[in-house]
Structure 1
Amino acid sequence: MSRRDFIVQLKGHRLTTAQIHYYRPDAPSLLQLFVWQEYDLAPDFPRLFAFLEHWRREIEAPLHSMCISHEGMIRPTEWRAVDGVIDIR
């Protein structure tokens, strides 16, 4: 994690992921998936909505749907011990 990422987390930003389905301009019957991920503030999501406004202005691909996931809190990384050894030769 970079220093900037840690600092914005201390200011309340949390990792936000948006799965954006959109219609392809060259093939309007097909859907394409774009995944956007950034540290943002819930529930207003100013960075996400700024990106969507940029999309609306600059990209000729109409949106179909979007799913937003948001990490709720800073916590230690989770790990677990694995019993066994995998030998790769």
Structure 2
Amino acid sequence: MTDRAFIAQLDGYSLTTAEVHYYRPDAPSLLQLFVWQEYDLAPDFPALFAFLEYWRREIDAALHSVRIAHDQLIRPAEWRASDAVISIQ
């Protein structure tokens, strides 16, 4: 059985994290933070925007701002040449 996250990464999805800042409905002067994380397709982020649309439609808390970060976890290996000599006994 293959992990769903691994298959998503092979299909071009990358791990996306969004910090959603919002105002509490019971205390509108307080700013709260909600962290959302899912595999999504950059740069369009369809899963994130679907979640934000759901938030606007179903949740009473007003959005203040959203900060997005993502990184592709599967990519070619990075390497660099070294002039060092390692001796092994």
Task: Give the TM-score taking structure 2 as reference length.
Answer: 0.80
1:72 offset after TM fit, Å? 2.9
Alignment partner of 1:18 is 2:18: yes
Q: How many residues are matched?
A: 75
Query: Runs of 5+ in structure 2 lacking a partner?
Result: 77-89
Q: 1:2-37 deviations in whole A, cap 9, x for unaligned?
A: 710000100000000000100000000000000000
- Once the two structures are superposed, what CA deviation does each residue of 1:18-74 show, in whole Å capped at 9, x if it has no partner? 001000000000000000000000000000000000000100011001110001341
Number of the residue aligned with 2:6 = 6
- Moved >6 Å (runs of 4+): none
Q: Which runs of 5+ in 1 are unaligned?
A: 77-89
Query: Identity across aligned pairs (percent)?
Result: 75
RMSD: 1.5
Partner residue of 2:79? none
Equivalent-residue separation in structure 1 for 2:26 and 2:73 (angstroms): 41
SS in 2 for 1:26: coil
Amino acid at match of 2:23: Y
So what's the TM-score if we normalise by structure 1? 0.80
